[in-house]
Chain A
Amino acid sequence: MKKDRIIFLIVFLFLAAFRVASGYCQKTDVDLIKNLKLIESKMSNINTLTTKFVQIKDLSLFKQKLEIKGSLYLKKPSSFAWHIDVPLKQRIILEKNIVKQWDEDTNQVQKINLDKNPSFSIMTDQMKRWVSGSYLSLVDEYEIEIVQSSPIRLKFTPLENSMAFKMIKSIVILFQEDETYIESIVISETNGDSTKFQFLETSLNVALDPQAWKIKPSD
């Protein structure tokens, strides 16, 4: 009888714990989705974006960290421009499925069809999602965690079945104080390398300089 009671107690405690845990998970998931929706809804109002950035790459390949400075332009739905000013002038302009790439060293424009270049396609697709706030679409590929609520800091850890799993350890996104846009993105790789993007002088929904879409600055 005593033994039965103990078994009953264990089963009861197990069920209770399971119930609490599942309730907690549900609550967390609901909160997370709510927050991601909120971010997405705020950022969905952004039709154009221009921001300067500083990118610091800490790569084992180089003795010192690489510091890259430039500007980023985004025009919804599918135009994206990535200008690097330092250390070497480079421009990448993405329109629909075609990427144009230029650098001052060669002064040549290279056209890449994203359909034929999967690695470039994946990176531009990911980058567009990070900077445009489309985080809900990432729930199938990442475990998402709200690390800090004000200002919001999100941590994305790739799920085992995702493409990024073998390369990325985590991605942390920190929003600005007023939560209108991202302040920084930190990508930590599984091999120990890391990259930090710091966004500065961000302007939302402003008319973009037509020069931003020119692949050669001199054009």
Chain B
Amino acid sequence: MIDRLFSKIYLALRKRQRLTILFVAFIFIFSFFRLFAVPFNNNVELMLPDDAEFTRSLKFLRESNFSDKVVLSLSLKDADHSVSDLLKVADQFKKNLKPPLVEKIESGILEKEILDDINQFLVYVPQIVAKGDLSAIESRVTPEHVNEKLKQGYKNMLSMNSMFLKSFIENDPLGVKIQYFQKMKELGESIGYKAKFKDGHFISLDDRHIMLILTTPILITDSAGARKLINYIHAQIDMLPEYINVDIISGHLHTLSNEDIIKKDIAKTVFAASLMLLVLLVIVFRSARALLVFIIPAVAILISMNLTSMMIGALSSFIVGLAAVIAGITVDYGIHIYLAMHAGGLRKVNKISRPVMVGVFTTMGVFASFFFSSIYGYQQFALLTNLSIVISIFFYLFILPGLFYKKNENIPLIKINFRKENPIFHDSVIVFLWLIVLGCFMFFSQHSTFSNDVRVYDGSSEEIFKAEDRFHQTWGGGDEFAMMVAQADTLQDVLKLNEELNTRLKRSFENAKVANIAEVYPSKKTREKNLLRWNSLWKNKLEGKTKKLLKEQGMKFGYSKNAFKPFFDELYNSSVADDETKEPKLLDKVKNRFLQKTKNGFYAISYFSDKEALIDKAQKISKKMAGTFIISRKNMTKSISESVYQEVKKLSWIAGSLIVILTILLLKNIRLTLLALIPVVTSVFMILGGFSLLGYALNAPSMVAILVVVGLCIDYGVFMVYDCKFKLEAGTLLAVTLSAMTTIVGGSVLLLATHPVLFYVGVTMAIGIFSGYLVAAFVIPACYRLWISPRG
């Protein structure tokens, strides 16, 4: 039926050949120019599972200010220069970094202001003393405790740093406020960075490094902006003296490095593919017009991109890149048709059209399985790929033969034939060897593992990772932290929610550390309540008693009459500020890390160690508290990998089932179907076993590549089965060999790729296609002869 249909359509189009060509040319030109209007979406989220929790985590990371930072670690290269030289250079360097690319530079705390800042904070403390803490303070106003504190103060005044400590004794003789400063200090140190301060700079403990934290408006995902920013920073670094080295720590570098590496890898692949095309044109096809076979998939993808964008809007650039490669598979059908033309003109094309269509439907079936994915990008991929295949096959079957019809050159082609008389190619030997190898690889495939690490997608250069290692060695902060986020529309709402979250986390985590700003910055309402309680307690109960005790006990150590006047002067001076700018400056140092303002509201962030036990506890809290969620790199990695793995597993089942069903339906013969599936089954086990033998773990890119291999191998199987059954004599073996060769070369080139994703795709393609081709070329004919047609 397919043969008749092909003839009918072909003849109809041939009658209107000029019109058809004009129409195709018009579509092509229209698609080419419309391409500039096709909207693209670079958002990686399109490629991730549609999971509410996961989407929220990504949204948080995108909106928060974690990703707009560039950290610079300036260090001394030699021992001849000192930290003073480094400080001078850093100061000048800071002046050179200017907007618009660098909006703000955080370099450290000015020591000369720290005492004023601490004193300002001590005045604020009554607002954060909770009810329970106030009772503890009350219980400490005893002669014994006051005596102890004043003795400690006296001893401090004998010590070398008495000049710094005097202010604390005057302003907080009972030590009731200083513990809150300690909490501030702990919050500042909670991320685990090791730094000291000198002249307003973060200095490493070895006095050899200075850290600068730059805030930039450039998003990590904006590759053009990131390039501008990094080039700008490099230009400033180039002006530094030779004895200074600068390590840049930034997500922008990863974006650029990945982009550069992928570009280089693609250039390598394109070069190899072009070389292959040249070899095919010169050695096999010996005709410039054969170039059309390779141009058609490109035209098809161009048209299908336009059609897809008309149907669903913006296209993912990842998907377009991937689909363009996959659509290249259709070149295999072109090769079959071209060789059939040469073998016997339209008659042979007519004959080959049937297996071509079976191949097309099964391959489309593989890619159609992506329609069942919950990942939007995969659905787009299914549509784009299938459209490309349909358009390509239309051109190959109905336009290409017409172009060759008038000038059938009848150029002799290379012929290949694996003779069965050769003992090496004896059918039983072939099948036996195949079964042994397949058995071995089936055994090894049981040991194959799946990697959960999404870092496999990061192919940044080694130098970037080395700089990050150096940074963590110097500054610490390499520990992994999870974040629990409270989210609300207003600052006060988020602070209130954060208070409750902090209480629950502290209770649930027991001894495990959790850093939360609530203890030093609760909501305004809570601060007002605290302040009322503080004032009431001191006015009604403690002020008089404390004055008396300080006087009595102070006399023993010779304290003057007005020694603690500053404490009593400031006792009721605290007031809840309406304006954030009137709040203690010390709070600003931690607010930036614990509170985030976004266009959609406010986030309050708690930090804790990214351990499974703590994540479980936090998840229980999160389930009970609306407006809270957890960001854990480990958890995210696990859930992405798990979702992607489940997704690919589901798609594999669907694709597998579709292939079998479609092959049975199209071949209408169980035995032939089983033969056609031999390359598919073999290649899958060879890949699984091969990965296991090579010590590689399977990952999402390699799993997707397996589906592509399956799509190609079923074609090889179908063509070889048809060739065996119908004696096509349309150059099928040569076509399968050429198709496999082009794909193997393309895949093998990826083995040279630096980017891990491309590398794993390369390994999968090389193993899968090579094994699939070998069994298609040798095992299917052998099995056919042994099983279906023993007498030939």
Q: Which residues of chain A have a CB within 8 Å of any CB of chain B?
A: 57, 59-64, 66, 68, 82, 84, 87-88, 90, 92, 97, 101, 103, 105, 115, 118-124, 127, 137, 140, 161-168, 187, 189, 193
Contacts and interface: CB of A to CB of B under 8 A. Distances in A.
Contacts of B155: 88, 90, 103, 105
Contact of A63 (B162, B169, B558): B558
Nearest to B166: A61
Nearest to A140: B84
Contacts of B563: 60-62
Contacts of B48: none
Contacts of B166: 59, 61, 193
Contacts of B162: 57, 59
B697 interface: no
Contacts of B165: 119
Contacts of A193: 166
Q: Is the interface of A mostly helix, strand, loop or mixed?
A: mixed
Contacts of B559: 61-63
20 contacts: A57-B162, A59-B166, A61-B560, A62-B157, A62-B558, A62-B560, A63-B559, A66-B157, A84-B158, A90-B159, A92-B160, A101-B159, A118-B196, A120-B161, A124-B160, A140-B84, A162-B112, A166-B112, A167-B115, A189-B163
B205 interface: yes
B78 interface: no
B725 interface: no
B729 interface: no
Contact of A115 (B115, B151, B194, B561): B194
Nearest to B196: A115
A127 B160 contact: yes
Interface in B155-209: 155, 157-166, 169-170, 194, 196-197, 199, 205
A115 B158 CA distance: 22
Given A122-B111, A140-B84, A167 B158 contact: no
Contact of B161 (A59, A63, A119): A119
A167 B196 contact: no
Nearest to B113: A166
Interface of B: 84, 111-112, 114-116, 151, 155, 157-166, 169-170, 194, 196-197, 199, 205, 557-563
A184 to B, nearest CB: 17
Best-buried of B157, B169, B562 by chain A (most CB within 10 Å): B157
Specify the main secondary structure of chain B where it touches its partner. helix
Given A59-B166, A115-B194, A165 B112 contact: yes
A156 to B, nearest CB: 15
In the complex, the 3 A-B pairs of residues with the closest C-beta atoms, listed nearest first: A119-B164, A123-B161, A163-B111
A92 B157 contact: no
B787 to A, nearest CB: 79
A62 B555 CA distance: 9
Given A92-B159, A115-B205, 16 more contacts: A57-B162, A60-B563, A61-B169, A61-B560, A62-B157, A62-B560, A63-B561, A64-B558, A87-B158, A90-B158, A97-B205, A101-B159, A103-B155, A115-B196, A119-B165, A122-B161
A118 B558 contact: no
A90 B159 CA distance: 8
A219 to B, nearest CB: 21
A80 B560 CA distance: 33
A136 B124 CA distance: 41
A216 B561 CA distance: 35
Contacts of A63: 558-561
A118 B320 CA distance: 56
B560 A60 contact: yes
B158 A118 contact: no
A61 B157 contact: yes
A105 B159 CA distance: 14
A126 to B, nearest CB: 9
A141 to B, nearest CB: 9
